Amino acid sequence: MIIGAMNDPKKNVAEEIALFGEMGFDYFELTIEAPCAHPDKLMKEKKEVQDALSSYNFGVLAHMPWYFSVAHPYPPIQEAINGEFCRAFDAAVEFGAKKATLHSEFLPSGIQERQVHVAKTIENVGKLCKEAEARGLELLVENFNASSFSIKDFKQLFSEVDIGMTLDVGHAFTSDGEGLENYLAQFRKRVKHVHLHDNDRRTDQHLPLGAGKMDVARAVKELKAFYDGTITLEVHSHDRDYLRISREKLEMMWYGRKKFEENREYLQPGKKV
């Protein structure tokens, strides 16, 4: 299990890397979004960002802007969005990313018929997969909720497009999230990356672990039964110390207290836990 953190796109990327490095994270998930992590901005600060990554020996995963449409009803608009996806793919490759995550469609369901919505998503995700593959990137699709893209819709997508899943545990626990156990029952072999955060089991809040009403310990136990890869803590808090606390909680749940304390002593000799 490898624990990473994602930058706040409103903050300087190199400073975010340094913050996560000092907190002891294992890798950096770069969300390529305006204003501070837009592709143009990243290229202007390329050396600074690469030096920061090198300083902490960070590998990189990439995340596309969550609000980019993948099934827009206007083809010219979708074509323009795909062009921006490709620019983000190019930026991701510049910083060594091998995997990139995009979200399922966010447009309100009333804009186009569900059948059309699903068909366009599948067609366009297939196109974006090829664009990513041409750049050496493995594209992953992330769950949000049933209104965006349901488990039934994902089953259809996976039957037509060879793509892995970024399983967002917090999203699965929202009132319209369809449940973690249902995602695992259908797609555990598709899971290539995980996002973890807490909520009140109703809305998507990205709380620190333990601050909401999710049974995080049970979720971690279910993940550990089949998965041992990258887990990004997507904790959105102005007080970034909650990110460090969440990392320690995850390590404790994953390894148990004894192993956790042994790991801490090895990495930080003499530091009290």
pLDDT band of 268, cuts 50, 70, 90: low
Give how far the C-alpha of residue 129 lies from the chain's centroid of Cα atoms, to the nearest Å: 17
Helix (H, G, I), strand (E, B) or coil at 12: coil
CB atoms within 10 A of CB 22: 10
Question: How confident is the model over 59-74, as a mean pLDDT?
Answer: 96
pLDDT of res. 265: 54
Q: Write the pLDDT tens digit of every residue in 1-14.
A: 999 999 999 999 99
In 3D, which of 28, 32, 33, 24 has the Cα closest to residue 5?
28
User: CA 165, CA 53: separation in Å to the nearest integer?
Assistant: 25
Domains and CATH numbers, the chain: 2-267 (3.20.20.150)
User: CA 85, CA 179: separation in Å to the nearest integer?
Assistant: 29
CB 23 within 8 A of CB 7: no
pLDDT of res. 273: 44
pLDDT of res. 269: 54
Which neighbouring-strand residues pair with 103?
142
Which neighbouring-strand residues pair with 102?
141
Question: How confident is the model over 72-91, as a mean pLDDT?
Answer: 97
Q: Which two tokens stand for residue 250?
A: 């995850």
Mean pLDDT for all residues in the chain: 94
